[in-house]
Amino acid sequence: MTWQRRLIKEIGFFLKWGLAVALVAGFFFAIWLYKRVDDELRSEIERRCAVLCPHLRIRVRSAQLLPGEGIQLRGVRITIASLPKVTGTIAEIEEIMLAGPVAYKELLSGDVPIQRVVVRRPHVRIACGTDGQWNISRLLPLPKLMGSKHPPVHIENGMVEIVDLRGPIPSVIAYRDIQMEIFGDSPPQSDGSSTGARKFRGTMTGDFVRRIDVEGTFDPGAPCLRLTGSVDSLEFSPECQAAFPWEVRRTLRPLEHLRTQLSLTFHLFWSAGSNPVVDYDLSGQIRRGRLDDPRLPYAITDIRGYFTASRDEVLFTDVTAFSGSTAFVVRSAKLLHWDLAQLADLDMQINNL
């Protein structure tokens, strides 16, 4: 009986440790297999992006399938292959969640049911090189997205930098804490056709401004953009103007000595094509303004009033200001083509000159 008990004990010992080793090996094999699936998923996503956007280089640091929840992408980097590094990097995204009841079966069939896209902490860099070409112009024409339905997109904690490398000192202005919602496909029209336009709305803050609210539509097929919004507490100053791209600085040059706080609303229309169209109008209020023009003997202070502006003209109404004991009341004044030399329709009263 002694040798039988010893045999049973040894068999039990080997079974116990053999089972433990098998469980550990199975655990590590499952991790390897899971990682292999994620690596294959990442490679497949990069491959499909390369087919869809051959002019872009899209790299994904990691991709993970979360059964029943969706596909999680981390460390997404988008660059334009034909541009140098300083202007070629278009976006770096910390996380993209393709949410939906995704399972391995759908993944293998290629029919992935994505119901919602969440983009977290994207950093977009819009840059103009020394040759005067903007990197975003290389994105046109926009690729046609696969599939007949496009899910809504939520952008969380985004940032956009606008960099102009023309001139001896590059200009940089940034907009942060971007929260944006891009709605799904627009409902069909009465004839059953779809416009292809996507509605969006969002908020942000940024350099020299407290808050910006925007909403509009974007049609990637045209492509064209319609945008409306409001700006709260813009600190307009020479430093603010210096941060804008060269085209904006050129338009605002007549106001280069002005410091003021602005609140305004705006409308913008942009359309690409052989003859690109950019049109805008804005209106707002001037508060606590100060004009330190070296051509004037004294600064003009406490400027308050209202304005409307478009590409062709700027109209000021009900503007009051002071220069020492002299008071100015401008009932209306018009600048043609944003040029002080083309001042028209001036209705002004001066007191205590």
Tens digits of per-residue pLDDT, 264-304?
A: 999 999 988 778 888 999 999 999 999 998 888 889 999 99
Residue 233 token pair: 């507490």
CA–CA gap between residue 34 and residue 100 (Å, rounded): 19
Residue 31 lies in a domain: no
| Amino acid identity for residue 185 in this structure | D
Cis ω on the peptide bond leading into residue 54 (within 30° of 0)? Answer: no
Query: Domain total for the chain?
Result: 1
Helices (H), the chain: 2-52, 85-88, 104-109, 238-243, 246-252
Q: Give domain status of residue 305, yes or no.
A: yes
Least reliable range by pLDDT among 73-82, 183-192, 240-249, 331-340? 183-192
Is position 154 within any domain?
no
Burial of 266 (0-12, 13-18, 19+ CB in 10 A): middle
Cβ count within 10 A of residue 321: 19
Query: What does pTM read for this prediction?
Result: 0.83
- pLDDT confidence bin for 15, thresholds 50/70/90: very low
Q: Is 212 among the domain residues? A: yes
Structural domain includes residue 269: yes
**Residues 7-26: what's their mean pLDDT?**
46
Q: Is 33 a domain residue?
A: no
Nearest to 212 by CA among 247, 237, 166, 177: 177
213 Cβ contact list (under 8 Å, min separation 6): 201, 202, 203, 229, 230, 232
DSSP state of 134: B
Q: Is residue 47 situated within a structural domain?
A: no
Structural domain boundaries, residue 292: 207-353
74 touches 62 (CB < 8 A): yes
User: Is the residue at 310 inside a domain?
Assistant: yes
